[in-house]
Structure 1
Amino acid sequence: MSSLNDLLASQDALLREAALALPHEFSRCTFGMGPIKQAVYLCLTCATLHGICSSCSIACHTDHEQVELFPKRHFRCDCPTSAIPHHPCTLHQTTEEENGTNQYGQNFRGLFCRCARPYDPKTEQETMIQCLACEDWFHESCLNLRERPPPRESSPDLPDPGDTAAHEDDCSDASSDLPPPLISADDYDSFVCATCVSKVPTLRRYAGTKGVIMIVRDVARGSWKRLEGEPSAESQGSLDEPSLDVADPEAATTKRPRSRSSSQNDEREAKRTRLSESPLCLAPAVNHIAQAIFDNKTSGSKDSTHEGVGDIFLTEGFRERWCRCERCLPSLQANPYLLEEEDTYEPPEDPDSGFSLEELGARALERLPRDRAIDGIHAFNGMRDHLLECLRPFAQQGKIVEAADVTQFFEALKEKRHHVN
């Protein structure tokens, strides 16, 4: 009866895999929660390209082709709205108006990165990195972290569920067989693309300083390298000077003591009093290489000894290191995710996750009225006795029970039940 044991073991393995892959309960559409940060899926089968929540991706679009877009902030599920016609939501019975606050970037057209390529998990070699600000996904090669590898051969055939090695390989890092990138995932906490950096003055101000890594290269050498902290004195001598309070421009230009009249001294003392009432700017000295790259990108000039795209990689604890003076804080407050880590909604845990078939059957019986539960137990016992009767000849003759034998048993049982009804 080894084949029967193998079949039961395979079913248990499938249950365990399902519990790990789908540990949550998918019985509630998130539309009623309003715009929240949540996992979003793109349904390619539906006529229009909109986003659906994780529950609707399971309950309403199970047999559809989907692309996981991962968390998107301020997003409301489109499944129960008129934006997805001819496909009523099974979890939210009322058809709602289209969501007016959702932002639909190029990901909702199936395109990713600044190269605007579609993502194909069967051929893609690289790990992709999500921008903290715009939440688009970028190839490591497009961030100049590595050379673009050739696409791997397409492998449409799914691995055997019993092939553990194939399953582990399928779940491994897409870049595991490639040389390490210039910056690894352990080197930083969050990534912000150059387009988003240019929109936030404080991010641009910090670019290339300690804890805000950039990738640049000297045009003459043409090799990409990390830029973090103050450049050497040979390349940027003025950067070794301490940062001065930006609210006092005179202090930045005054190098020697000067004689002042009494009125000048009174004015200077009044200025000092005003400055003491407001926090000083604690931002580090600007990295002139980084700023020159942004200036050249803005002006379209190529007159620079260094070049780079302008992406930044923020190291761990970056939210605690921002200066919060009246100059630095406003652009951070306009983008709250830079000041506080966001909560991402997850569906509630599935109470049935991880249970065996027998345990799930027992739990189902517990939810039934007593008379129906008793009828169910009798029906189960009858099926068990019938199955044992059919399997007894196999045991007596030493024959192996094949999957086809078990299938034939249930087909016969189904046919018998049909004639009784």
Structure 2
Amino acid sequence: MESQRGSSSSTERAVDDCEDENSVTMLDVLQEENQLEEDANAVLGAADDKNCTYIQGYMRQALYACKTCCKEGIRAGICFACSLHCHEGHELIELYTKRQFKCDCGNSKFGEKCSLNPVKSESNPENKYNQNFDGVYCTCSRPYPDPEGLDNDEMLQCAICEDWYHTKHLGDSETRPEENSYDEIVCDACMKKASFLWSYASKFAVTKDSKKEETTQNDENVEVEDSSKKCTMPETPAKTEGCCFWVEGWRSALCTCEKCKMVYKENEVEFLLDPTDSVQAYEEAGKANNRESQYEKGMKALASLDHVQQVNVIEEYNNMKERLKEYLQKFADNKKVVRAEDIQEFFSEMEPNKRQKVEIPKYCR
């Protein structure tokens, strides 16, 4: 344990030695990489980048819509692996995750067969498609990010319809609860459709006036007892309009008596009783599947170097950063597209005993 603490402090000292107003430290790079990895895990979960998910049937997964392959008005979703292997270079819409979805790549909605799994049915009748597959979201039906800059507000996903909503379109700002005080939301339209959920709102919904201590207490008091025989649905409160913000664990409070199960089925929300259905469960599965992160590998690599070596590595990185910035600036000045070959050339010129070549041909006039 002592040696690990010593390595960590040595790394921090090396970083301090190289810090100035314009430098970027290796810790900055590793921390940014770590955040990107966490974001990717949240979106992709345990996604496979080599095999189409079609043979796994209907499942929650990261999805994409291909605007290059699908004509206007045709909605279809493809899995992560197909987005890489069958639709490389196409115009894709990232859909985050959708429940109970089977990959459409190569079926009757597409002009060509799936290269990863050519044998597929003509359609997937249980798939559900909403406006997100057209590249628009929320009650305002705007794209995200909005190219016109009209609605680039933070967006939240409804736990039932799985559409995304701008926070400013989820009720009055004076009544919306504080950020991070809730776990899931159900939009206004879905609360109207599944109005029985208002029966649970008085105990498990978060409001503007909710105190953190009360929310935590509600979370801890969520009933998990066997309610298959006796109905435990609370009485319906006076308020039955608007969207609803729910505390963590609210789903486990839903009554599971036979009468209530029929209500869930009639409203097509049986999935609310499935503990693996939530996006949180999906993200946790992704984290469990993830191996050692680049941040952890990078920190171990830095810790294995002595102080002088650490300083040299960080200085070289900062030098490379500045030289790359100068190299790319010339492309911007000449309005020239940066190709993979240009990046390869830059790094080849970074090799020892070579001078960096930064001359870029200008357009003929």
Q: Give the 5 Å matches for 1:358-397.
A: 392=353
Whether 1:402 and 2:352 are equivalent positions in the alignment is no
Q: Is the 8 A contact 1:25 1:347 kept in 2?
A: no
Measured after TM superposition, the shift of residue 204 of structure 1 is 3.4
Q: Equivalent of 1:183, from 163, 177, 183?
A: 177
Look up the match of 2:85: 59
Q: Percent identity?
A: 32
Q: Which residue of 2 aligns with 1:320?
A: 252
Query: CA, structure 1 residues 111+403, in 2 after alignment: closer, same or farther (shift >3 Å)?
Result: same
3-state DSSP of counterpart to 1:71? strand
Q: Secondary structure at the match of 1:138?
A: strand
Query: How far did residue 72 of structure 1 move?
Result: 0.8
Partner Cα separation in structure 1 for residue 54 and residue 173 of structure 2: 40
Q: How many residues align?
A: 246
- 8 Å contact kept, 1:30–1:53: yes
Q: Is the Cα–Cα contact under 8 Å of residues 143 and 311 in structure 1 kept in the other structure? A: yes
Equivalent residue letter for 2:57: G
Aligned residue type for 1:336: E
Q: Residue 139 in 1 paired to residue 166 in 2? A: yes
TM-score by length of 2: 0.55
Matched, 1:44 2:37: no
Pick closer, same or farther for the CA change 1:58–1:284 going to 2, 3 Å: same
Question: Shift in Å at residue 322 of structure 1?
Answer: 2.6
The one-letter code sitting in structure 2 at the alignment partner of 1:312 is: C
Alignment-mate amino acid for residue 237 of structure 2: N
- Distance in structure 1 (CA, Å) of the matches to 2:287 and 2:90: 21
The answer to whether the aligner puts 1:310 opposite 2:335 as a matched pair is no
Runs of at least 5 residues in structure 1 that lack an aligned partner in the other structure = 1-8, 148-180, 215-224, 229-277, 292-308, 357-386, 395-400, 408-421
1:340: which partner in 2?
A: 274
Distance 1:280 1:120 in 2: 47
1:52 partner letter: I
Cα deviation code 1:1-20 (max 9, x no counterpart): xxxxxxxx9xx98xx68993
Q: Is the 8 A contact 1:38 1:346 kept in 2?
A: no
State how 1:246-285 maps to structure 2 within 5 Å.
281-285=231-235
Instruction: Provide the residue aligned with 2:99 in structure 1.
Output: 73
Partner Cα distance (1:196, 1:321) in 2: 19
Structure of greater Rg? 1
Alignment match, 2:237: 287
3-state DSSP of counterpart to 1:210: helix
1:299-318 Cα deviation digits (max 9, x unpaired): xxxxxxxxxx4211121221
**How far apart in 2 are the matches of 1:22 and 1:187?**
24
Are the equivalent residues in 2 in contact too, given 1:202–1:328 (CA < 8 A)?
no
Amino acid aligned to 2:50: S
Deviation of 1:206 (Å): 2.9
**2:144 alignment partner, one of 100, 110, 119:** 119
CA distance in 2, matches of 1:325, 1:331: 10
What is the TM-score normalised by the length of structure 1? 0.49
Partner secondary structure for residue 204 of structure 1: helix
Listed one character per residue, the Cα deviations across residues 214-233 of structure 1 (whole Å, up to 9, x for unaligned) are 6xxxxxxxxxx6699xxxxx
After superposition, the Cα gap between the structure-2 partners of 1:190 and 1:89, relative to the gap in structure 1 and judged at 3 Å, is same
Task: Using the TM superposition, give the Cα deviation of residue 182 of structure 1 relative to its aligned residue in structure 2, in angstroms.
Answer: 2.8
| Structure 1 residues 279 and 18: alpha-carbon distance in aligned structure 2, compared to 1, 3 A threshold | closer
> CA RMSD, aligned part only?
4.1
CA 201–140 in structure 1, closer or farther in 2 if over 3 Å, else same: closer
Counterpart Cα distance in 2 of 1:52 and 1:213: 35
Distance 1:27 1:190, change over 3 A: same
Distance 1:114 1:76, change over 3 A: same
Match of 2:221 in 1: none
Whole-angstrom CA distance in 1 between matches of 2:103 and 2:287: 13
Q: Which residue does the alignment assign to 2:124?
A: 99
SS of residue matched to 1:197: helix
Task: Name the structure 2 match of 1:274.
Answer: none
Question: Which string of whole-angstrom CA distances, capped at 9 and with x for unpartnered residues, describes residues 28-84 of structure 1?
Answer: 011111111111111122233411111111222221122211111111111121211
SS at match of 2:248: coil
Cα distance in 1 for residues equivalent to 2:96 and 2:258 = 35
Determine if contact 1:41/1:67 at 8 Å carries over to the other structure.
Answer: yes
1:53–1:403 Cα change, 3 Å: farther
Counterpart of 1:210 (choices 184, 192, 203) is 203
Task: Determine the C-alpha separation between the residues in 1 that align with 2:292 and 2:99.
Answer: 29
Deviating more after overlay: 184-193 vs 337-346 = 337-346
CA 1:350–1:121: 2 relative to 1, 3 Å: farther
The Cα of 1:138 is off from its aligned counterpart by: 0.9
Preserved CA contact (<8 Å) 1:145 1:183? no
Q: How far apart, in 1, do the equivalents of 2:145 and 2:52 lie?
A: 28
1 CA distance for matches of 2:69 and 2:183?
Answer: 36
* Contact 1:59/1:91 (8 A) holds in 2: yes
Shift of 1:140: 0.8
Aligned partners of 1:285, 1:25: CA distance in 2, in Å?
Answer: 45
Q: Which residue of 2 aligns with 1:27?
A: 50
* Shift in alpha-carbon separation, 1:135–1:80, aligned structure 2, 3 A: same
* Structure 1 residue 129 displacement after superposition: 1.0
Give the direction of change, closer, same or farther, for the CA distance of 1:76–1:323 in structure 2 (3 Å limit).
Answer: closer
Describe the SS at the equivalent of 1:186: coil
Report if aligned partners of 2:93, 2:133 keep a CA contact under 8 Å in 1. no
Change (3 A) 1:60 1:19: farther
